[in-house]
Chains A and B, each alone.
Chain A
Amino acid sequence: MSDQPAGRADVVLQASGLRPGPLAAGLAAAVIAVLAGLTIGPVDIAAHRVALQLLDGLPGVTIDSGLSDAHAAIVEQIRLPRVALGLLVGATLSVSGATYQGAFRNPLADPYLLGIAAGAGLGATIAITSNLGDGAGVLDPVPLAAFAGALISVTVSYVAGHLGGRSTASLILAGIAVASFLTACQTYVLQANSDAFRQIFAWILGRIATSGWSEPALMLPYFLVTVAVVLRYRRALDVLAVGDEEAAALGLEPRRVRMIVVLAASLGAAAAVSVSGLIGFVGIIVPHTVRLAFGTSNRLVLPLSVLFGGAFMVLADLAARTALAPAELPIGVVTAFLGAPFFVLVLRTSRREIW
C-alpha cells in the first residue's frame, strides 16, 4: 500500500443534489398541469390563450389573449383559484410525506397512514361543530385545531410504533390504530352534531373546491413555512438516513432534527387537511415516484416533491371533476384509486430495501 494518497486526488466527486434536468422536469410538469387545469372543463378554452391571459395578469404586462370576458372570468375567477389550491395542497402533502419518510426512515410514512390526517380531521371537526370558525382567514381556529390534532396523532403513532419495535410495519400499524380511533371519535362528534353532518362528510372525502381565493390564501402561509423549514433540513435528513446512532456520531442531534421537521410537516399537512379534507396517498405516490426517477437523496426528493406534488394534485382534481361530469368525484377517491396499487408496489420494493 502506498503512502501517497493516490495521484487522482484532484478528481472531485459530486454530491447528489438538485440538477438542472430534474428541476426543469418538475417545473415543466407543474406548468403543464396548471395549463391543463385552466384549459379543460365544461367550457374548453385554448391553452395558448390561457397562457396569454395569465401573462396579461402579471404586473406591467399587457397582452391581448383574445378571450371573451366570460371566458377570462372562468379562467381567472373559477379555475385559477382551484388550480392554485390544488398546487398548494398537493405540494404540501407530498413534501410532508417525503419528510415523514425521511424523519422516521420509513418508506410508508405518510400524513394519511400515520393518522395525522385523521387527527387533523378530528381537530377541524371539533372546531367546525363548536362554531369556532368557518375555515377562512390565516389565524382561523380550524387549521390551528387541525394542527393540534395532527401533532397529537403523530406523537401517539410514533410512541406506539416504537413500543412494537422499530420495523416499518409497527409504525404504520400504530398509525392505522390511531387513525381508526380518531375517525371513531370524529364520527361520534358528527353524530352528536348532525346539523353539520353534510358539510363535514363532503369534506372527509376530500375536495379541492374553492369559493374564490380564501382557501388558497389560507393555505399559502402554511405551505411557505413548511417548505422553507423542511428544505432547510434536507441535508440533515440525508444524515439521519444512517439512523440516530450513526447520525449522532457524525455530530447531528437526531431527535432535535426529527422534532423540527415533523412539526413543520405536520403544520402543513394539518392546514392542507383543514382546507381540503382527507386526501390520502399523495404523500406516498409523489415522493416514491421522484425517488424511482431521480434518486433518493432528500436534496432532490424534497424540492421535486413540491413541484410534482402540486402538478399531481392539479391533474387528479382535473380527473375528479371531468370523469363523471357534470358530477364531481371526491378527489380523495381519485388519489386512493391510484394510491392503493402504488402502496402495494412500495411494499414490494421496500422488502428489497429500495425506496
Chain B
Amino acid sequence: MKNATPPPIPKPGGAPVKNAVSVRALDVTLDGTHVLRGVDLAASTGEWVNIIGPNGAGKTTLLRALLGLVSFDGEITIDGLSDRRRSSRARKVAYVPQTPVIPPGMLVADYVLLGRTPHRGVFAAETANDRKIAAEVLTRLDLGGFGERTVQSLSGGERQRAVMGRALAQQADLLLLDEPTTALDLGHQQDVLELVDALRRERGLTVIATLHDLTLAARYGDRIAILAQGRVAETGPPADVLTVQNIAEYFGASVRIVDDPDGPVIVPTAGAGRDPVAQNGDQP
C-alpha cells in the first residue's frame, strides 16, 4: 500500500510554490451524504494526474470542489492562492465537463469565446485580443473553418474539441477533465487524450482528469490516484497503483495486468469470483 500523503506543502512566505494545485483535508457533504472525507491530493506544475475509482467514489465531486462549485471544508490551493471568488478562480481553472450542455443554436465562435468570460467580465464585450485568442484556439484544434457553424451541428469528436477550445480560451494553467472520453469511440478517445498531452507540453498545463478506462489512465498521465469511498486510497505511478489487488479491492473487479512498454494493460478476466490474488502475475 502506498502512502496517500501528498508532497509537502510549502510554508507560507517560504520558497516558491511547487504545487500547481494542492488539496488538504477536503471534506464535502452533499444532501447529507459525506461524499469526500479528508481528501489529500497535489499536482505539480505540468503534471497529469488521473483520478480513478468506482462509481460514486466522489471523482466528479472532487473536480467540482476544485472549481468552487460545491462548498467544502479543508483547503484547496491553486497556483499558491486559496481565493474562493469565482471569476478569479475561473482564470486559473478550466473545466471540460463529462456531458457539456450544448446551447441550441449557439455558434462555435461564440461558444469558444465563452471561455473568455472570466477575463472580460460579465458585462463587457470581447476585446480584439479575446477574439484573437479564440481564433487561435480554433485553429490549433483544427476547427478553423467551424466558427460560423452551430455547436450542435458538429460530430461527437468535433464537439469535444469545441468544448476543449472553450477551456483553452480560458488560458487557465489547470485543466480539469471529467471523463473526457466517455462519449467517444476508441479513435477519438485517443485523439482527445493525445491532444491534451500535446497541449499540456506546449502550454505547461497541469491536468487532472477522471477516467473510467484504466488502461488509458495508465497510458496518459504521470500519476494515478484511486478514489474510493470519498478518500484517496492510493496514489503513485500507474504501474505501482494499478495492481491486481488494488483493482480487486477498490473496483471489485477481477483482472489480469499485462505489462506493456507503454504501461500496464488491464484485462478483465472472465469468470468473476475467483480469488484475485491468485491470478497475479501473467508477466511476459
**Interface of A with B (CB < 8 Å)?**
1, 3, 5-6, 8-17, 105, 107, 232-233, 235-236, 238-239, 241-243, 245-246, 248-253, 257, 291, 295-297, 350, 353-355
Option from A9, A253, A257, A355 in Cβ contact (under 8 Å) with B135? A9
Whether A246 and B135, one on each chain, are in contact in the complex, defined by CB atoms closer than 8 angstroms, is: no
A16 to B111, CA, bound (A): 10
- Nearest residue in A to B107 (C-beta to C-beta)? A16
Other-chain residue from B69, B131, B138, B152 in contact with A248 (beta carbon distance below 8 A): B69
- A5-B140, A248-B86 known; A12-B103 Cβ under 8 A: no
A261 vs B117: C-alpha distance in the bound complex, in angstroms? Answer: 18
CA distance A344 to B132 in the complex (A): 41
B144 interfacial contact with A, CB 8 Å: yes
**Nearest-CB distance from B154 to chain A (Å)?**
13
Rounded to whole Å, the gap between the CB of B33 and the closest CB of chain A is 18
Contact check, B136 vs A245: say whether CB atoms are below 8 A apart: no
Taking A15-B110, A105-B103, A233-B123 as known contacts, 10 extra A-B pairs with beta carbons closer than 8 A to each other, sorted by chain A number, are A11-B139, A13-B147, A14-B147, A17-B125, A249-B93, A250-B117, A251-B86, A251-B122, A353-B104, A354-B104
Q: Are A15 and B131 in contact (CB under 8 A)?
A: yes
B-side contacts of A253, CB under 8 Å: 86
Whether A251 touches B87, Cβ cut-off 8 Å, given contacts A12-B132, A239-B114, A296-B106, is yes
Q: Does B54 contact A (CB under 8 A)?
A: no
The answer to whether B114 and A12 touch across the interface, beta carbons within 8 angstroms, is no
Q: B100 in the interface, Cβ–Cβ < 8 Å?
A: yes
Pairwise interchain contact A249-B69, C-beta atoms closer than 8 A: yes
| Chain B nearest CB, measured from A240 CB (Å) | 9
* Distance in angstroms between the alpha carbons of A250 and B170 in the assembled complex: 8
Chain B interface, >50% SS class: helix
Interface check B223, CB cutoff 8 A: no
Chain A residues near B90 (CB, 8 Å)? 249-251
Total B residues in contact with A, Cβ cutoff 8 Å: 51
- Using A13-B109, A251-B90 as known contacts, say yes or no to A5 and B139 having CB atoms under 8 A apart: yes
CB-nearest residue of chain B to A292: B105
Let me know if B126 is at the binding interface, CB within 8 A. Answer: yes
Q: With A and B bound together, what is the CA distance between A212 and B155 in angstroms?
A: 58
Instruction: Flag B89-103 by CB within 8 Å of A: 1 or 0 each.
Output: 111011101001111
Interface assignment of B275: CB less than 8 Å from any CB of chain A: no
CA distance A297 to B114 in the complex (A): 12
CB distance from A154 to the nearest CB of B (A): 22
| Residue B118 CB within 8 A of the other chain | yes
A241–B139 CB distance below 8 A:
no
For A15, the chain B residues whose CB sits under 8 A away are 109-110, 113, 125-126, 131
Cross-chain contact B105 with A250 (CB below 8 angstroms): no
Set B118, B138, B195: member contacting A251, Cβ < 8 A: B118
- Name 5 A/B residue pairs within 8 A (Cβ), A-sorted: A9-B132, A15-B110, A238-B110, A243-B101, A354-B104
Q: A239 vs B90: C-alpha distance in the bound complex, in angstroms? A: 13
Q: For residue B110, which residues in chain A have a CB less than 8 angstroms away from its CB?
A: 15-16, 238, 297
Q: Which of the residues A248, A296, A353 comes within 8 Å of B67, measured between beta carbons?
A: A248
Q: Kindly provide the distance from the CB of B3 to the nearest chain A CB, expressed in whole angstroms.
A: 32
